[in-house]
Amino acid sequence: MSPPTSKRAKTRPAPVAPVATQLPSEVANEWSELAHRWQDVGAQWTKLWSDAALGTMRVMPASLPSLDIASQVPAVSIDSAAAALLTERYTRSFEELWTRATEGRTLQASAHPPADRRFSDKAWREHPYFAWLRDAYLLYGEYVRELAALAQTDDATKRRLVFVAQQYVDAISPSNFLATNPEALKRALETGGTSIAQGLSNLVSDAQRGRIAMTDESAFEVGRNLATTPGSVVYRNPLIELIQYAPTTSEVARRPLLIVPPCINKYYILDLQPENSFVRYAVGEGHTVFMVSWRNIPSELGGLTWDDYLEQGVLAALDVACEIAGGKTVNALGFCVGGTLLACALAVLAGRRETPVASTTLLATMLDFADPGDIGVYVSREGLAARMPALCGGGRIQGSELASAFASLRPNELVWNYVVGNYLKGQTPPAFDLLYWNSDSANLPGPMYVEYLRNMYLDNRLREPGALTMCGQPIELERITMPAYVLATREDHIVPWRSAYKSVDLLGGDLTFVLGDSGETRTVRVEPDKLPYGHDGLPGSVLDIAMGAGVHLDHACGGVAACSTCHVVVEEGGETCSAMLEAEEDMLDLAVGVTDKSRLGCQCIPNGKKSMRVRIPEWNRNLVAEPPH
């Protein structure tokens, strides 16, 4: 069919002007205070390491410098006898470490975490002082982690304590302070102190913007070298703009593709640069692509709710896309929280007995929040209750707050790496389009945010049929019966892949599950010529696995699959399992809808059940994983 035009698009008479957000003075003050605390802690730890290196500290000190991050968790009880034994054991280890250092020996290389970029410079290995610093720090980190593990408290509090302990260990690394970082000291000498001056300048600049610079922001500009796929806004309401991208083929598919991106960042995550733009790729394949662009919520829209995001966001975009394309259905794709919103909207439509979506794709999306990963440590009933009066009264959650929380989940990669580079070495971070997008965050309305945290993260009610009502409809995810494609990524620190995998039990249609490599935002970007990151279409094993009766992907290791009910293991290319009908070179077909169960020794496969395709990219075949049953 010929490409549709936007002449029939609905528009609102009043344009929605973008709202510029200014950095509050209190944010700058907080940064100034943080900088002072960081310098104070650095001075304390420098003295501690130096005293130890000079031999004036021979045992573990009774009091260690602290970032006071332990105040983030309630008081917990630790068995005093166990703690004493642990301290005694590590005190001996420190003494042994000092003895080796005085004899010119350090820990064996195998004793250190592999690929720890903080200590990659040869000075950490060859210079006795810095080698001792590294070894003493790594040993102390083990002590702190084991001490936190001794806490006698409930699972949620213990998880928070373990998380805070790791944050503390990461923060006190000798690589994070000028006096104990050999690379930073060497650069200061080579530049005659210029690097230190530039580092202070970088610190001031970051304090003014309220965040740590993770990329050279001067290298990018939306519309110049980001989000350059041609398109135009065809619909606008107070919450969204809908972009339709211009076709590049003489004919296009009859059914368009609607993309719902996450609402805490800007729309162009799937349209970064031409070489990694999913949008450009989809348009080039003959799809008519529509993209939701969420509003950066100003104060006057602070009262919007989750239902508003469904009605004015996803459902409005579906209506317009269908109208412009001149058809009855679209294909829909949701990414991260955009996928959660899309799934909720589809459940609302199912309740209304409307079917405008023919297929759905969920990229790095959680529908079951039983295990939200480390981000769960920031979500508590007490914390939400304390903020509810302000949030439900029209307050907003700042995008920068959420971005900082996400970054703290990988502090060495997304915080301290840039502290060292920007401030200690006086460098400008390299240009990276993904991190530029990551810092371009958007605010959320308080009531919508409260509903999201309470219903999903705290109560996990989305997975329960009929437990939630949205837009006047009871939400039952199993009524979403169109074919679904679910992508999870192995290293995702925001949407753990095991949690994303649980969607296979909640949705009601035929489903393809794909486990990709890397993190969520890197995996979903398409670079066809570079074969990146393990999305569908790349070499790998495909397993057709029956859904229902406990039959799930249980293990994936070297092309091995197992039924999670009977644990019968099948090796690719090997003999047929009792739960399998056949094993081919690249595919294992688990029996689906088999009438003669005498052929199935495990008796796990119900008749007439739908199938699920699971792709395990070849570089993930050394992964041993056990998704929840």
Task: Give, for 205, the enclosing helix (H) or strand (E).
Answer: helix 194-209
Judge residue 339's burial from the number of C-beta atoms within 10 Å of its C-beta, 0-12 exposed, 13-18 middle, 19 or more buried: buried
Helical H segments across 326-422, by residue range: 337-351, 381-392, 399-408, 411, 417-419
Distance CA 276, CA 170 (A): 32
Selecting among 263, 322, 336, 344, the annotated active-site residue is 336
Number of H helices, E strands in the chain: 20, 20
Judge residue 606's burial from the number of C-beta atoms within 10 Å of its C-beta, 0-12 exposed, 13-18 middle, 19 or more buried: middle
Judge residue 595's burial from the number of C-beta atoms within 10 Å of its C-beta, 0-12 exposed, 13-18 middle, 19 or more buried: exposed
Mark 200-224 as b/e (b = at least 16 C-beta within 10 Å).
eebbeebbeebbbbbbebeebebee
Distance CA 120, CA 113 (A): 11
CB 513 within 8 A of CB 384: no
Distance CA 447, CA 468 (A): 16
Backbone angles phi, psi at 509, to 5 degrees: -110, 180
Task: Give which of 539, 536, 553, 569 is closest to 611, Cα–Cα.
Answer: 553
Distance from the first to the final alpha carbon of the chain: 45
Task: Clarify whether 392 is annotated catalytic.
Answer: no
Count how many residues are written for the chain. 629
Backbone angles phi, psi at 288, to 5 degrees: -85, 115
Both tokens of residue 447?
């009531």
For residue 236, the tally of other CB atoms under 10 A from its CB is 19
Helical H segments across 409-484, by residue range: 411, 417-419, 433-439, 446-452
For residue 310, the tally of other CB atoms under 10 A from its CB is 21
Task: Give, for 614, the enclosing helix (H) or strand (E).
Answer: strand 611-617
Distance CA 604, CA 601 (A): 8
Strand extents, DSSP E, 526-608? 540-546, 560-562, 569-571, 580-583, 587-590
Residue in the block written with tokens 């409809």: 473
The packing angle between helices 194-209 and 25-53, to 10°, is 140
Q: Which amino acid is at 424?
A: L
CB 588 within 8 A of CB 555: no
Both tokens of residue 484?
């679904």
Distance CA 363, CA 292 (A): 15
Strand partners for 331: 257, 359
User: Which DSSP symbol is given to 441?
Assistant: B
3-state percent helix, strand, coil for the chain, nearest multiple of 5: 45, 15, 40
Distance CA 151, CA 145 (A): 11
Both tokens of residue 489?
């990524």
Query: What residues are annotated to the active site?
Result: 336
